[in-house]
Structure 1
Amino acid sequence: MPHLDHRAFVNDCRDERGVGHHTLRAYAQDLRTFARFTEAHRLSDPLSKDDILAYHRHLRDALGAKPATIERRLVTLKSYFAWREDRNSALPSPFADVRISVRIPRRLPRPIDRDTLRAVLHEGEDTFAVRSKSGADDAIAASQNDVTILIIKLLIVTGLRISELTNVKVRDVSHDGSQILVNGKGNRERIVFVPNHKLQEELRHFLEARYAQSGSSAPLFLNTGGRRLRSATFRKRLRALSRRLGIEPHLTPHRFRHSAATLLIEEGIDIRMVQALLGHASLRTTEIYVRVSNHALRRALERADILDVLRN
């Protein structure tokens, strides 16, 4: 059986390429899946093109993996063998002559419609009372619901991934609440802006409270146990909010990200500015939101049906 040096590969991706935690975890999972396959089929080095094709069939037919999962696992494996060959030329990559095409259906993102967004925001009206005097002595103690609504507002206006927002520290937010420094995929830092003045005030007062409680190096958002709020915990809060408001399908952090991008494009913001806001490495990733906006335009035009209007 070939020896797959998972840990060294993952560590190298982290240290040399700055790959994010979630991607590293996916790499390790992908390589473990292949290791189980090689063990079950008693494969040994040097692996061949036929071994890779057999693994592709195994993923597709035996495991019933989705096309996107198959593509990711093969891409991980190809990267691993290229890395291994670079370290030891006596172990050539079995992907040298492999040509596998995995057709992935392009699914449009599902942004939250405007009426639902209004209902959610209405739930949090006047969440934070803006005081005339600022300072640590006036720090506002926010409830769990207050914090949930504040995070929702920030997701809507910044398009942040929830993992990016929950990793923000107090010191990463400007004193006036107008901008946030975030660490995105691949450890790429970027600044996102909070353009709404009322939201800036809410964030500023919340920031003052957190600074007074824990100082500048503490996480901005905490769970009920006083530790950093985790993405999974926030998703549970959104499910509870969805049930309370009767929202189906239920709210998710990524749907707010989709909504942020779609709304900005519908309001005429240049797609490259949206790309920078979302932290997309490729413009192709952002372009899907133009299609979503065009889909919304088509529905609006069908509802208007100008010819029918003229006939009446």
Structure 2
Amino acid sequence: MTEYAQDLRTFARFTKDHQLADPLSKDDILAYHRHLRDDLDAKPATIERRLVTLKSYFAWRADRNSALPSPFADVRISVRIPRRLPRPIDRETLKAVLHAETGPANVLLTNRAFATDHAITILMIKLLIVTGLRISELTNLKIRDVSTDASQIIVHGKGNKERIVFVPNEELQDAFRRYCTDRAMQGSPKSSLFLNAVGRRLRSQTFRKRLRALSHRLGIAPHLTPHRFRHSAATLLVEEDTDIRMVQALLGHANLRTTEIYVRVSNHALRRAVERADILRTLE
């Protein structure tokens, strides 16, 4: 609510400074748009929000007083919001995270006992890296969604669309299979696969908190997030020359354009590598 109030105050200052009065016109709105863009140097997302807030306000006002029509009636403003490149986790940081599991207290499962929270967190991180799952898709998994050998997972994605992802690493498969076997002995096929400390379904927010704690312990900034692991999964596959349509299928993207952004990320990595090499300098 504070942002909306600020949006209206910004427009109120504009009308006062420019001595505008009702009824406002289409040209007044276009002038305000230019003011936000050129004078205030507002970000595209901020401009869009402020115009949407203003349009809603004028629609509300016109609904209560027909003598004050909305100046947005004939306005068509396109605010182009640049797509942010995803921020994958660099390889060295990924290695540091995966090596954080070392130590006798972090053995995944022994004697049918539940794994430690940390071990489960590392297992889930590895699954995110190799499958590119959304965290909600991972935490919503049921025991029945994993194949007997733990090499395949049935995922229910956005719009309840079903897809299959694979667990390719033998060592990870073995750890995942032992975990799933233990869970199958303790719960029904419909039970949640990942549980919290009190035996209930592990919530996405709880996993995010674990990642923040791990980030703090390892000195990782910006902190780890589930979606950054998803970005990393896609970027690493692209960098290994995996067909972009295969990456699209893995991530469950409805549109190939959504997946193609990872090619841009990989190109950024290529540029940095070329700049570091500086071939011409080696020829001097």
Shorter-chain TM-score bucket reads: 0.7 to 0.9
- Verify: 1:294 aligned to 2:267, yes or no: yes
Query: Distance in 2 between the 1:69 and 1:224 partners?
Result: 44
- Verify: 1:161 aligned to 2:134, yes or no: yes
For the 8 Å contact 1:158–1:192, the answer to whether it is kept is yes
Cα shift at 1:298 = 0.6
TM normalised by structure 2 equals: 0.74
Cα distance per residue 1:65-85 (max 9 Å; x no partner) = 9628947x97xx9xxxxxxxx
Cα shift at 1:96 = 9.7
The count of residues paired between Structure 1 and Structure 2 equals 242
For the 8 Å contact 2:109–2:115, the answer to whether it is kept is no
Q: CA RMSD in A?
A: 3.5
For the 8 Å contact 1:219–1:228, the answer to whether it is kept is yes
- Verify: 1:145 aligned to 2:118, yes or no: yes
- What is the SS of the residue equivalent to 1:223? coil
Alignment CA distance shift 1:299-1:129 (3 Å): same
For the 8 Å contact 2:87–2:231, the answer to whether it is kept is yes
- What is the SS of the residue equivalent to 1:106? coil
Higher mean displacement: 151-160 or 219-228: 219-228
Query: Distance in 1 between the 2:117 and 2:46 partners?
Result: 36
For 1:67, give the aligned amino acid: A
Aligned match of 2:23:
none
Alignment partner of 1:106 out of 71, 79, 83: 83
Query: Distance in 2 between the 1:308 and 1:273 partners?
Result: 38
Higher mean displacement: 279-288 or 121-130: 121-130
Query: Distance in 2 between the 1:258 and 1:68 partners?
Result: 25
1:120-139 to structure 2, matched below 5 A, reads: 120-125=97-102, 127-128=106-107, 138-139=111-112
Query: Distance in 2 between the 1:287 and 1:68 partners?
Result: 26
Query: Distance in 2 between the 1:222 and 1:65 partners?
Result: 41
Query: Distance in 1 between the 2:126 and 2:196 partners?
Result: 18
Identical-residue share of aligned pairs (%): 66
Cα shift at 1:225 = 2.0
For 1:172, give the aligned amino acid: D
Aligned match of 1:217:
190
Alignment CA distance shift 1:97-1:172 (3 Å): farther
Alignment CA distance shift 1:148-1:102 (3 Å): same
Alignment CA distance shift 1:259-1:70 (3 Å): same
Query: Distance in 1 between the 2:43 and 2:269 partners?
Result: 32
1:3-18 to structure 2, matched below 5 A, reads: none
Aligned match of 1:241:
214
Query: Distance in 2 between the 1:176 and 1:125 partners?
Result: 25
Alignment CA distance shift 1:241-1:69 (3 Å): farther
Cα shift at 1:272 = 0.5
For 2:217, give the aligned amino acid: R
For the 8 Å contact 1:238–1:252, the answer to whether it is kept is yes
- Verify: 1:193 aligned to 2:170, yes or no: no
Query: Distance in 2 between the 1:172 and 1:68 partners?
Result: 42
Aligned match of 1:117:
94
Aligned match of 1:208:
181
Alignment CA distance shift 1:258-1:69 (3 Å): farther
Query: Distance in 1 between the 2:129 and 2:85 partners?
Result: 18
For the 8 Å contact 2:109–2:179, the answer to whether it is kept is no
Query: Distance in 1 between the 2:46 and 2:243 partners?
Result: 29
For the 8 Å contact 1:221–1:228, the answer to whether it is kept is yes
For 1:150, give the aligned amino acid: L
